[in-house]
Amino acid sequence: MLQAGQRCTATSRAIVVEDVFDEFVSRLTAACSAFRLGDPLDEETDIGPLASYEQFCTVEGYLELAEHEELDPVIGATVSDPEDGYFVAPTIYTDVDPGSRIAREEIFGPVVAVIRARDTEDAIRLANDTEYGLSASLFTRDLRTAVRRARELEAGVIHLNGETAGAEPHVPFGGIKASSSGTREQGGAAREFFTELKTIYLEDL
């Protein structure tokens, strides 16, 4: 919910295995219920408004789409009067079909689709079933599993036991699939990103 979900690495899908699904939803709902919307310059604020009226309308459209798809929000799915600011309440949808537009498209708002997976294998399959591949997270107490599964995730940035949104300036940043231009930025890769290569042949006459 950082930056009201308005960042390319926002966690917009949460794929949760069956064994901990209900507990996860309960804890996530409790956390989101405690978030305070308001002036982003106020230290008491957790979530500020969306960046523009256009984005406000876009997110509102996705909430209407979710209603049309008969998805019932566990929390949220409410918006403010635009005259009072472009606020969208933190919104959680659970048991979302992986094929739903709510799960497959980039909303750029404080909305998360929680998808149920049978087991870890199924979770990895669902995580990779997207045209995007910028950032992903995997949470587990088994470090061997973490490293092995991280290699299976199709994303340019992988976080183990941490949210997807973080990106350190000293390491390369970029994605794969539709989330990539084929290059990386930041860190040492930044030099290559801003470098145009030229090949010159010289023959000795």
Domain boundaries, the chain: 1-132
Residues in the chain predicted with pLDDT less than 50, given as ranges, are none
User: What per-residue confidence (pLDDT) applies to 1?
Assistant: 63
Q: Tell me the C-alpha to C-alpha distance, in Å, between residue 104 and each of 50, 52, 185.
A: 21, 23, 25
- Kindly state the DSSP code that residue 19 receives in the 8-state scheme: G
117 SS3 class? strand
Q: Tell me the C-alpha to C-alpha distance, in Å, between residue 88 and each of 25, 134, 155.
A: 20, 24, 28
The per-residue pLDDT for range 25-54, each reduced to its tens digit, is 999 999 999 999 999 999 999 999 999 999
What is the token pair recorded at 160?
A: 């183990």
Domain 1-132 sits in CATH 3.40.309.10: yes
Calculate helix-pair angle for 120-128, 143-152, nearest 10 degrees.
30
Tell me which residues are annotated as active site.
Answer: 8
Those residues with Cβ within 8 angstroms of residue 94's Cβ, 6 or more apart along the chain or in another chain: 25, 74, 114, 116
